[in-house]
Structure 1
């Protein structure tokens, strides 16, 4: 028998990244000591949940809930803000995934989007009726 594990099946729920698991109740990486999920832990999670972003978010949301409870029990004053905890557990996948990034038009003659995403079908017609759409949205 070998000690190697079979590769994860797509859409399989993975318990935690094997090389960089969380050390509970501190929620630090057991391997490197950084706040979990650490950089390598994030990469492992992305690889484990490739093609199943909803499963990744469900797993991380459960971790966030458990981390808030664990850290609050340890020291209620040092748990951290809700925004920081959310960003630590649930904010990073969107920043790393190109499909969720906001694209901005750039180049001569392009209108700024004001931080709103430019959808492909609207980008072609940005000049035709673009002002009407912008007025309607805000």
Structure 2
């Protein structure tokens, strides 16, 4: 594989994940983040997680996803955005596990694997604001 193909592959995967995160949030903004949050609080009512914590998490989630998504899409602070995305996945997996939604946990594990690949292969992050504008490796 040519080096330029590795750079292109990284760009495409980073863009895919960035757009995915961004549009999770954008769709909720159009539908109303309050209704998403309220459904989340209701869904977690039978778990040991306190409702006020779920309320705060549900309120912040769309904004966090949008920020992570935008950073990954443009390739700004990529390493930090990937770490934040991975930590977010861990928190989502904890919540899904409390709900015993193992199919959702499996999907979140796939996201986590893709994030791992992006972190592991960051040296191929040539087409990014980090590399082109800020000169970061």
Query: Which TM-score band applies after superposition, normalised by the shorter structure?
Result: 0.3 to 0.5
Structure with the larger helix share: 2
Structure-1-length-normalised TM-score: 0.33
From the CA coordinates, give the structure whose radius of gyration is larger: 1
Whose RCO is larger (CA < 8 A, sep 6+)? 2
Structure-2-length-normalised TM-score: 0.33
